[in-house]
Structure 1
Amino acid sequence: MCGIAGWVDFNRDLTGERSTVLAMTDTMALRGPDDTGIWLSPHAALGHRRLAVIDVEGGRQPMAADDVAVLTYSGEVYNFRELRVQLEARGHRFRTHSDTEVVLRGYLEWGEDLVDKLNGIYAFALWDVRREELLLIRDRMGVKPLFYYPLPGGGVLFGSEPKAILAHPQADRAVDADGLREIFTITQTPGLSLYKGMHEVRAGQVVKVRRQGLTKRQYWRLTAQEHTDDLDTTVRTVRELLEDIVERQLVSDVPLCSLLSGGLDSSALTALALKHGDTRSFAVDFAGYADHFQPDEMRGSADGPFVRDAVAHLRPDHTDITLDTTELTDPRLRTSVMDAWEYPQFSGDMNTSLYMLFRAIQGHSTVALSGESADEVFGGYAWFHLPKAVDSGTFPWLVFMMQKQRPEDLFDPELRKKLDVLAYERDRYSDALAEVPYLPMVSARERRMREVSYLHLTRFVNMLLDRKDRLSMAHGLEVRVPFCDHRLVEYVFNTPWAFKTFDGREKSLLRAAVSDLVPASILERRKSPYPATQDPAYGQALRGTLTDLVADGTAPVLPLLDGEAVRTLLKSPAEDTASTVTRISLEMVLDLNSWLESQELRVDV
């Protein structure tokens, strides 16, 4: 899947800057453990770290073609074989069997229009030698990350991860007020990064850098289309799309597996993959979790029994990965997660356990299929179906997730007043609604549910896709997300809400489309998110880490905290700290501290 980095500067000669570009590129050694490459020219320098998945021997990068263009590329184009046939018919000759060369020669043939032909997950930088211009391009749903940092005089730094850019001496290692605001809410604003002066290429966007300056073009966005299929045809079309998507995404020259949670999404993908041959599957669990599981408002059932049902029915080559709470609480592991994601969050044990799961899988497979984004596409989350959340006048998930406590509750009151995160959320919500495409002459209910779907597909999913990419690639594991295929997303987005809930349940269309593939217990199971430990020792360990941090007195997060609130928390009974509500604040403090410390960041608000 790889990591890319580079530097464009029209005011200096970069041919002597190998060491700088190599330092940027090598920050992503975990992302691309198989090879490294550097390409230098007077005004452009490109770097690449490779995770070899297709054409292991031939796909080395950066890759040049005909002294016209040079490409550093991350991702997979699933229709590269069809595109190759078209290009060969137009006279192109290939030296490799890689999808990288198809993208490169596709640019020679079609120019920027190439992006309209690609089906896949990708982020790449292409330097046009003759025109002296850089194209930064990201896939339609933003599955693969790509950041950039404009330089004075019209140049730019770029990388798959912020750490690649921060390795350059001209990048400012700082987080500003908007960066903190993004951290303290659950909505990842498209185009923004947490770092001062740094931006992210939006999903479905082309960023062009020339001597004249930087321009942006949105080559893909969700649009409103009238849905003319009846219900039976719609269910059949969803199934046909899924069949084609999974078959395409099984292409790999290295071992491939599926992530099996015992839910509808992952079970359906595993079943579809097994149609094309033996498939390995992996599931995550916590020691003693099923025996002591307590249902809550997020999770009505433990995964374990449903995983066993899926394995018995589908018969993949299955492995359970069982995690111990003791390792989840290791501060060194928290730092590793922060180094990988570079995004503080308040769902720490889920992030850490996901990191551990990917670490365990990587020893067996290099590619994995994941059910991520099915809930955004088909309306699976509980708050899609709660009037209080849907009609709240803000992002629906915020009402559900932040009704008891906010992640900034332990922070200094003056800082919180200055940041005014609630006002920031209102502004970002207004921005998002302004983008929503509508159909005329529809009911208020249909209009509102289109808005809710759009918010999830362009805001909420950003965070989940970013997390999955960064935590998996930290172990050299490529995770593919079939439910993010833009054809499926476009089709279901324009399907009436009544179709998506026709059986009175969440994800009605998906359930109907795969009803013959998975066991009845999974078809009837209610949505249950990725598991989180319920061991009270986890919350107590967080409290102990905060106690040590306060006692040390040098932690970079301490000046940002409300000292009195922290002292009150640490004096409270230990069982209070074990609650999920209290853990939200504790995890935010500890994650933010790990991030500031490991990235050597200053706070500039």
Structure 2
Amino acid sequence: MCRIFGHFDAQATPNELRAVAAAQRHGGPDAQTHRCGQGWALGNNRLAIMDLDGGDQPYTLGRDVIAVFNGEIYNHHELREKLRARGHHFTDTCDGSVIPALYAEYGPDFAEHLDGMYSIALVDLRGEPTLWLVTDEVGMKPLYYHWDAARRHLYFASELPALLSFRTVRATPWEGGLDAYLATKTPFGEQTMFEGVRVLPPAVTVKVTRDGGLNMTTRAVTGAARSPHCSEPEAAAHVLDLLRTETHRLTEADVPVSAITSGGLDSSFVTVLAAEKVRDLHSFNIAYTGTWPSDERAFAREVAEYAGTRHHQVEIDPATFPSLLADVVWHLGQPNADPITLSTHALFAAVRDAGFKVAITGDAADELFGGYDRIYKAVHAPFGTDWVPAYVEALAAVPSTLRERLYTSDYRSFVADHGSVSEEIAEELRASTEPDTMSTLTAFEIGRRLPSYHLRRVDHLSMSASVEVRLPFCQPSVVRYARTLRAGLKVADGKRKRVLYAAADGRLPASVINRPKQPFTLPVTAMLQPGQALMEYARDLLAPSRLRHRGQLDPQQVEALFQAQATTPNDRASMAIWSLMVHELWLEQFCSATPAQRVLDDRVPEVAV
């Protein structure tokens, strides 16, 4: 696991490359290297997980094929043996070292042979210099880029603060970003909150040359049209087999592996399966000092006892949230309105402090198997009714009617003139060619929302603590099978994730199987009240003078939010305040500073590259 960066057909000084490496050093503290040529550079920050003494990057084949890699390739043993049979020689057993040889054999189609999570940059200097960028099938390893089409200059990095450390990449806020963020909790798709900065979508292969420019191809994702398993027991048995196989495979590492155990179905199931393979598995749960709603520590402890793990109960003090939130926003690089970000950041810091570099989690099960209320309601909407508006509204951090009230008249006019993201998503869903509502929702949840809202958050906040997250539910075999399941095996009879619960039945404590679904998140409504540190911090960030300067939010309407939350605390007002607070903090950190100041703010020492 690493961080990567570079440029192609462009220029960057040695100091710029040092600044880029420094800005994402937390994601690869074990080694920092780069290689430069005429108009190109590839760089790497390494977090050593496989072959700790080998695995030096960039990986090369001769002098003309150079690659850097972020992620894990789980089938590297099989690939190495096949490549050896074709005459290739390897000096180590690191997973990424197979990449140049695989490219030599298969050209740009080499990614079709990879099983894992990855973003890869490869320069081929044979003939016309060419840069290839490749992402995994689900989008587990983000890669951000800035493409100057007029000059044919490309810059890229694994994290936004690193990319913005290139002098020509500007931290200019996207004017439509506020509305998009409040409508979906973070920008979806390739769009980021910065003008001219994009993120590669899943399953793409990008070719960049001076003559041809940038060309992006989406690789076909294969899979059966419909699951052959019609009954719930058959499908559940297959899900169990797939998940057990993938979880066991993902425990392979040359460093200790841990598990995140929230106490809900998904993480508990993965913890139990990982414990079958890992002797003396350590599990981690997070809670908050004091008494708060939605505390799950008792369920997590019960799972740990059931699985026989060595359990770590992590606690964080809500008084630290203001300083913690600043770190979270910095590492994410753009706003994400889910309060779980604070918990996630603190949890992985505890995992690191306990001596672990790898953690297995249960993320993505809800997207695959229909765990959200909005999915259930859409699938079971009365015949002939339009389920799209309610589904789109459920994606929002702030309801559409409240968003319109919060905006200034100028910004409201801007949104009306340019169209809202909510309208775009509604049009996309209605234009779907999938055979039914569940297939449409699954394609959208996995293809659009999961990478943007969920996977980038998990990646950035785990790697902020130098911890690699592995996600069994995101493995291609599990994702492809989940896509084929009919709606009745996911959401029916008032139940969500039916087939997953059936697969876990008898393998988890009954209390976990039978408990109501509860989001793993911060009790933000209880914490955003008068006298709480978080409330005072929100008032400072959203002071009327700040809002008037920005010109997008109406200070009087924001004050009305605070008054409503103070007198009658509720989720609607508290989530709106939280979301606006995160957005304002992002603007302060990124859009009011020079690149040099942004690197200094991260307090990362300069490294020798």
Q: TM-score, normalised by structure 2?
A: 0.89
Name the counterpart of 1:7: 7
Structure 2 residue 245 is the aligned partner of structure 1 residue 262: no
2:207, 2:592 → 1: CA distance? 29
Matches within 5 A, 1:426-575: 426-431=423-428, 434=431, 436=432, 438-439=434-435, 447-462=436-451, 463-501=453-491, 505-533=495-523, 536-540=526-530, 541-549=533-541, 553=545, 558-570=550-562, 574-575=566-567
1:407, 1:279 → 2: CA distance? 46
CA deviation string 1:255-296 (max 9, x = no partner): 21111011111111111111112211001112234xx53xxx
The one of 54, 64, 85 aligned to 1:89 = 85
Structure 2 residue 104 is the aligned partner of structure 1 residue 108: yes
> How far apart are 1:311 and its partner, in Å?
1.9
Name the counterpart of 2:604: none
Contact 1:355–1:471, Cα closer than 8 Å, also in 2: yes
Name the counterpart of 2:605: none
Name the counterpart of 2:52: 56
2:310, 2:434 → 1: CA distance? 45
> How far apart are 1:44 and its partner, in Å?
1.1
CA deviation string 1:357-398 (max 9, x = no partner): 111111121110111100111111122222598643247263
Name the counterpart of 2:158: 160
Structure 2 residue 301 is the aligned partner of structure 1 residue 308: yes
Contact 1:396–1:452, Cα closer than 8 Å, also in 2: no
Amino acid across the alignment from 1:305: A
How many percent identity over aligned positions? 28
Name the counterpart of 1:228: 228
SS of the aligned residue for 1:512 comes to: helix
Contact 2:301–2:311, Cα closer than 8 Å, also in 1: no
SS of the aligned residue for 1:216 comes to: strand
> How far apart are 1:537 and its partner, in Å?
4.3
Once the two structures are overlaid, the 10-residue window that deviates more, 503-512 or 88-97, is 503-512
CA deviation string 1:232-260 (max 9, x = no partner): 43222212211211111111111211110
2:549, 2:103 → 1: CA distance? 47
Name the counterpart of 1:191: 190
Matches within 5 A, 1:388-407: 391-394=386-389, 396=391, 398-399=393-394, 402=398, 406=402
> How far apart are 1:539 and its partner, in Å?
3.6
Matches within 5 A, 1:316-355: 316-328=309-321, 330=322, 332-348=323-339, 350-355=340-345
Change in 2 beyond 3 A, CA 1:267/1:537: closer
SS of the aligned residue for 1:177 comes to: coil
Structure 2 residue 137 is the aligned partner of structure 1 residue 140: yes
Segments of structure 1 that go 5 or more residues without pairing to the other structure are: 294-300, 440-446
Amino acid across the alignment from 1:217: T
SS of the aligned residue for 2:166 comes to: coil
Amino acid across the alignment from 2:103: Y
SS of the aligned residue for 1:418 comes to: helix
Change in 2 beyond 3 A, CA 1:200/1:573: closer
Change in 2 beyond 3 A, CA 1:422/1:156: closer
1:134, 1:556 → 2: CA distance? 45
2:63, 2:362 → 1: CA distance? 41
Contact 2:145–2:163, Cα closer than 8 Å, also in 1: yes
1:308, 1:361 → 2: CA distance? 16
1:114, 1:45 → 2: CA distance? 22
SS of the aligned residue for 1:121 comes to: strand
Contact 2:244–2:273, Cα closer than 8 Å, also in 1: yes
Name the counterpart of 2:172: 174
Change in 2 beyond 3 A, CA 1:244/1:585: same
Contact 1:65–1:105, Cα closer than 8 Å, also in 2: yes
Structure 2 residue 299 is the aligned partner of structure 1 residue 285: no
Name the counterpart of 2:147: 150
1:567, 1:182 → 2: CA distance? 22
Name the counterpart of 1:366: 357
Segments of structure 2 that go 5 or more residues without pairing to the other structure are: 594-609
SS of the aligned residue for 2:77 comes to: helix
Amino acid across the alignment from 1:288: G
> How far apart are 1:425 and its partner, in Å?
1.1
1:346, 1:285 → 2: CA distance? 20
SS of the aligned residue for 2:122 comes to: strand
2:235, 2:202 → 1: CA distance? 26
Name the counterpart of 1:297: none
SS of the aligned residue for 2:507 comes to: coil
Q: TM-score, normalised by structure 1?
A: 0.89
Name the counterpart of 1:382: 373
CA deviation string 1:149-184 (max 9, x = no partner): 112322200111122221111112201234333322
Contact 1:138–1:201, Cα closer than 8 Å, also in 2: yes
Change in 2 beyond 3 A, CA 1:550/1:227: closer
